[in-house]
Structure 1
C-alpha cells in the first residue's frame, strides 16, 4: 500500500493542482486531485491481466476549466455539493426561512449551482501510507455560497483497500440549518478500449424509481419498476430496453433499510471481465448513461460522446428538501452528516 502526492505543474485560479495517488499491492491505482476532489484515474487489472483505466478524465488537467468544457459542465469525476441533482425552481424553505438558489438548468438548480464543490480547491488535511492508502480532503463552504445558508465544513476521505475497494466516506457539519445532499460524479467505462456502454450489463437492487417532470426534476411520486424499462432487478444489457435517443437519467429507490451499507448495483463488461459493485449507505442511486456528454481531448486525445460512460450517483432523493415524505436532506447544527459509498472492482471471468 502506498500514497504519493505530486505537483502536476498546473495552476487553476492561481492555486496549484496536486495529484494524490493511492496504490495497493495488486497495482490498482486511484489518482485524486485536490481540485474538485476529482477521481482522475482508476487503474485496475482486468481478467486478461492487463491494466486499464475505468474512469473518464483528462491528461491535461487544464481541460477541467476549458471554456467549452464548462459551458455544459458534465462534472467528470468530481464531488457534487452542496446538493446533488435538481432542486425544483431553485428554491426551498427551512423553518420560516425561504432560500433562492441560482437557477443553472432551466428553471431549476442542479449540482450545487454555477460554481459547486466540483470547482473548488480542497485542502489535503490527512494522508496515511503505513499499511493503508488513505487521504482526506476538506472544504469549507461559506454562508450564502450559491444561495445556501450556513457555513458548511465537508471532509471527504478516499481509501483504497487490498480488496480493490475504493471507499468514499463523507462527513459534514454546519453552523446553521442547511440543505445537503452529496455524491460523486464518476463516469465509468469498463471496456478495454472505451467507446459506448450499450453492451455493458447492469443490475440495480431497486424495486422502484422516482417520477421526473419534463426537466428531469423529481416530483415525489414513486413508481414500481416492474413491467417498465427501468427494471434492472435482474442483470441485463444497459441498452436492452432503453430509448436509444435518451438512455437513462433516472433515480432508483434502493431496496434497503435506510442508513445500512448495502449493495446498490453491479455493472459487468464481457471483454474486460470486470465487474463494478457499488455499495452505499444512501437510499437512492441515480443512473446516468451520459446522454449529454460532449467532451474534446479526453485521455489519450479521445473525444467523449453520448453514451460513452455510465454514472452511478449514490445520494438522498433529489429535490427531497421540497418533498416532506422523502428522507430529510436538512442538516442541523447539532447533527453530523455522514455517508459511505464503496466502488469495488473484481473479475467475473
Structure 2
C-alpha cells in the first residue's frame, strides 16, 4: 500500500502492487507514482491504463480527475476506453481497409462500417508487462506489449512500450514508442476522460478549453475525415481563445456538431509536427485546476464524451452520463493510412514510432 505519497519529499515515489485478478486467472498489477505535492497517478497493466490521477485544487484538496473503474474486470466487461492505451491504430480507419506496398488489408469493423481503436481486441484489452519501476527525481514505470504479426489483421510483429513519468513540477509525461519487423501502420495514444472537478462530479460543460489549432478535419456521417483541413474561424470549432465547452455544443445549425453528437473531431495542432509544443489548456473555474497539454503529434482528437449514456457505473458506483468527461487524444490523423495528404502512419523496420504528451497541472487563484 502507498503510505507516504501525499507527504513532502525530495524523491518522487513509484510503488508496485496487485490490482486484481481477471476471470481467467491473469493478474493485473498497478504502479502508483506520487510526488511531494500529493499528486498521484495510478497505472494498471491491463491496457497500460491510467486508472486514477489525483491532483490538487487551488486549496490543495485532491480529487481523482479521470473516469474509470474500481476493478480490473470492469474494464473488460464494460469497455469504454477509460484511460487506456489504444492501438495498434487509435481512432478510425474507413471500412477497416488500407493498402500497404500494394497489398490490401482488412481489419475488423467495430464502429459502424469502420475500424476503431484497434478493434475489440486492441491494446486496451491486453496485459502489458512491467519492465521497470523507478523512484528518484522522477518516478517512472515502463510497460511493453508484443503484438504478433497478423494480430487484429495488422502486418508486422510490433513491440510497443508505454512509459509514464511524474515529476515534482506536477508534470505527467506519457510516451508511446514502437518498433516493427515489417512495414506496418501505427497510431498509439492515451484515451483518458478528464473531469477537472473530479470524476463522477457532473458534466464538463463549464470547463474552459483552449486549442492551439487554426484548422480541424471535418467528417462524414461515419466520422471519417472528408478534407485534409478546414479553418476553425467563424465556427463552433474555434477554441483559439479560452471558451466554455458548453458554449456552442448545442449549435443546431452546425452539421459537424450534429454528426458527432457534439465534439468528436481531430484538430490540427499548430507548430512543427514531432516537436513538443503546447496543444491545449483545460481549466475548471470552480476548483481552479488547470491542465496544459503539450504534444509531439500532428493532431489532437477532442471528444466531449457524447456516447456516455448513463448505462455505465464507474468508480464508486457513480453513473457516467453524456459529457461527464472529455478526451484530448494526441494522434496521427484518423484514416491516415488511406490519405496521402495526411501525416503518415507508416512504420518501417529500423524506425521508431514515438508519441509523447505532457500533462502539466497547476491551480489558478480565485
Which band: TM-score by shorter chain? over 0.9
CA-atom RMSD in angstroms: 1.3
Task: Measure, in 2, the Cα distance between the counterparts of 1:220 and 1:323.
Answer: 10
Task: Measure, in 1, the Cα distance between the counterparts of 2:167 and 2:227.
Answer: 38
Partner of residue 151, structure 2: 145
* Pair 344,281 (structure 1): closer, same or farther in 2 beyond 3 Å: same
Task: Measure, in 2, the Cα distance between the counterparts of 1:286 and 1:202.
Answer: 13
Partner of residue 327, structure 1: 343
2:41 aligned to 24, 30, 49, which one? Answer: 30
1:249 aligned to 264, 268, 272, which one? Answer: 264
User: CA deviation digits over 1:39-91, x for unaligned, max 9?
Assistant: 1110011102211110011123321122xx1xxx3211100100010001101
Following superposition of structure 1 onto structure 2, how do residues 168-183 of structure 1 map, counting pairs within 5 Å?
168-183=174-189
* Pair 213,298 (structure 1): closer, same or farther in 2 beyond 3 Å: same
Task: Measure, in 1, the Cα distance between the counterparts of 2:26 and 2:111.
Answer: 28
Following superposition of structure 1 onto structure 2, how do residues 11-26 of structure 1 map, counting pairs within 5 Å?
11-26=22-37
Following superposition of structure 1 onto structure 2, how do residues 234-273 of structure 1 map, counting pairs within 5 Å?
234-243=241-250, 246-273=261-288
Partner of residue 276, structure 1: 291
Q: TM-score, normalised by structure 2?
A: 0.92
Partner of residue 341, structure 1: 357
* Pair 313,12 (structure 1): closer, same or farther in 2 beyond 3 Å: farther
Partner of residue 94, structure 1: 100
1:314 aligned to 330, 341, 352, which one? Answer: 330
Higher deviation after alignment, 200-209 or 212-221: 212-221
SS at match of 1:232: coil
Residues 1:103 and 2:114 aligned together: no
User: Is the CA contact 2:137–2:167 (under 8 Å) kept in the aligned structure 1?
Assistant: no
User: Is the CA contact 2:107–2:152 (under 8 Å) kept in the aligned structure 1?
Assistant: yes
User: Is the CA contact 1:6–1:18 (under 8 Å) kept in the aligned structure 2?
Assistant: yes
Task: Measure, in 1, the Cα distance between the counterparts of 2:89 and 2:337.
Answer: 10
Large movers: runs of 4+ above 6 Å: none
Q: Any stretches of 5+ residues in structure 2 without a counterpart?
A: 1-11, 252-257
Task: Measure, in 1, the Cα distance between the counterparts of 2:95 and 2:312.
Answer: 31
Task: Measure, in 2, the Cα distance between the counterparts of 1:128 and 1:60.
Answer: 25
Higher deviation after alignment, 191-200 or 165-174: 191-200
Task: Measure, in 1, the Cα distance between the counterparts of 2:133 and 2:71.
Answer: 25
Residues 1:286 and 2:297 aligned together: no
User: CA deviation digits over 1:289-321, x for unaligned, max 9?
Assistant: 111013433112101011000100000111111
User: CA deviation digits over 1:197-228, x for unaligned, max 9?
Assistant: 11110000000000111011112331100000
User: Is the CA contact 1:154–1:171 (under 8 Å) kept in the aligned structure 2?
Assistant: yes
SS at match of 1:64: helix
Q: How far 1:157 moved relative to its partner?
A: 0.6
Task: Measure, in 2, the Cα distance between the counterparts of 1:321 and 1:107.
Answer: 16
User: CA deviation digits over 1:127-146, x for unaligned, max 9?
Assistant: 11133200000001111111
Partner of residue 255, structure 2: none
Partner of residue 201, structure 1: 208
Task: Measure, in 1, the Cα distance between the counterparts of 2:228 and 2:295.
Answer: 23
Q: How far 1:12 moved relative to its partner?
A: 4.9
Q: Any stretches of 5+ residues in structure 1 without a counterpart?
A: none
Task: Measure, in 2, the Cα distance between the counterparts of 1:172 and 1:50.
Answer: 37
SS at match of 2:203: coil
Task: Measure, in 2, the Cα distance between the counterparts of 1:7 and 1:25.
Answer: 23
Partner of residue 119, structure 1: 125
User: Is the CA contact 2:20–2:71 (under 8 Å) kept in the aligned structure 1?
Assistant: no
Partner of residue 212, structure 1: 219
User: CA deviation digits over 1:252-285, x for unaligned, max 9?
Assistant: 0011111110010001001110111110000100
Partner of residue 303, structure 1: 319
Count the aligned residue pairs: 344
User: Is the CA contact 2:333–2:342 (under 8 Å) kept in the aligned structure 1?
Assistant: yes
Q: TM-score, normalised by structure 1?
A: 0.96
User: Is the CA contact 2:228–2:342 (under 8 Å) kept in the aligned structure 1?
Assistant: no
